[in-house]
């Protein structure tokens, strides 16, 4: 049975003996509404570390839309059952006042412009809220490795930049995006889709797959125009569809050996994001 901890002092008391013994600690930070994608992170952590901590905290600082925060799925009892089944040792439910202290280094860390395009442009302040909460959680848990899904590609790049900038002693592990059988990326927000919207959302995977299949055959501007048309002709409202360098998140040139295509769109009232890595191979 997983141990449930709700404050920093109790967490430190619990983890201290393991740290003294040099036990490797794996960490999966989440906002709850756990699904198979989260389970894949837990599984990866269990394979590589000896003690697994999972946190559940819906972070208000990374929501720039109050309605989005209020309607974000909260399924704590189901989440605890899922984490227990997956063999999580400690479920951490942190307190807001213990996470967000004044003068956090994360509030001033340089993110090398990674926070400016895509989600940064669409959701001002979002990534500052992300790095502040992840930094605080890292300080509470002090993990050896932390596991994140590739679906939030920009977030992953920014967390790596934060870790490097602040020289934090934690390895960031990227895990592949898990998809439903029809290709839709697993996401907690999918719980808010109606049956018809769930079907309409498949156009995102269709557009990403089109880019992956044709990115060496068409000029980037032609490729992206055709991919965007797939979405604009659907019921979804496109926010952005961009082909960028996976390291800098800047637009690629025609000779790029690798790229990532990133998309965000509204399906009804639900904003969905997805991405797909591309290579020259």
- What is the full DSSP assignment across 153-177? HHHHHHHHHHHHHHT-S-EEEEEPP
- What confidence category does residue 1 fall into, taking pLDDT thresholds of 50, 70 and 90? confident
pLDDT tens track for 146-166: 999 999 999 999 999 999 999
CA 239/CA 281 separation, integer angstroms: 29
Residues 6+ apart with CB under 8 A from 281: none
Whole-number pLDDT of residue 280: 61
pTM attached to this predicted model: 0.95
pLDDT tens track for 263-279: 999 999 999 999 999 98
CB 206 within 8 A of CB 225: no
Catalytically annotated residue among 38, 126, 140, 214: 38
Whether 35 is catalytic is: no
pLDDT tens track for 91-135: 999 999 999 988 899 999 999 899 999 999 999 989 999 999 999
pLDDT tens track for 194-246: 999 999 999 999 999 999 999 989 989 999 999 999 999 999 999 999 999 99
What residue ranges define each of the domains in the chain, with the CATH number in brackets?
Answer: 3-175 (3.40.50.620), 188-273 (3.30.1300.10)
Which of 50, 196, 88, 69 is closest to 126 using CA atoms?
69
pLDDT tens track for 35-76: 999 999 999 999 999 999 999 999 999 998 899 999 999 999
């Amino acid at each position: 049975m997983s141990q449930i901890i709700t404050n920093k002092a109790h967490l430190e008391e619990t983890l201290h003996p393991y740290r003294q013994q040099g036990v490797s600690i794996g960490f999966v930070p989440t906002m709850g509404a756990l699904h198979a994608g989260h389970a894949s992170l837990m599984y990866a952590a269990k394979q590589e570390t000896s003690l697994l901590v999972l946190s559940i905290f819906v972070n208000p600082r990374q929501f720039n839309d109050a309605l989005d925060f209020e309607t974000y799925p909260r399924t704590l009892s189901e989440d605890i059952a899922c984490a227990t089944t997956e063999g999580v040792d400690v479920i951490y439910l942190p307190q807001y006042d213990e996470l967000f202290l004044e003068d956090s280094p994360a509030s001033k860390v340089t993110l090398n412009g990674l926070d400016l395009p895509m989600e940064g442009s669409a959701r001002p302040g979002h990534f500052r809220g992300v790095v502040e909460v992840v930094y605080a959680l890292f300080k509470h848990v002090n993990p050896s490795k932390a596991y994140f899904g590739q679906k939030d590609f920009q977030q992953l790049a920014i967390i790596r930049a934060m870790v490097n900038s602040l020289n934090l002693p934690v390895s960031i592990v990227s895990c592949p995006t898990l998809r439903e059988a029809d290709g839709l990326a697993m996401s907690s927000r999918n719980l808010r889709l109606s049956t018809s919207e769930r079907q309409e959302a498949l156009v995102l995977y269709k557009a990403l797959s089109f880019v992956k299949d044709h990115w060496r055959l068409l000029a980037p501007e032609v490729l992206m125009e055709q991919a965007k048309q797939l979405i604009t002709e659907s019921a979804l409202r496109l926010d952005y569809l961009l082909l960028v360098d996976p390291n800098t998140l800047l637009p690629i040139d025609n000779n790029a050996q690798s790229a990532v295509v990133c998309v965000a769109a509204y399906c009804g009232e639900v904003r969905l994001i997805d991405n797909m890595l591309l290579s020259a191979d």
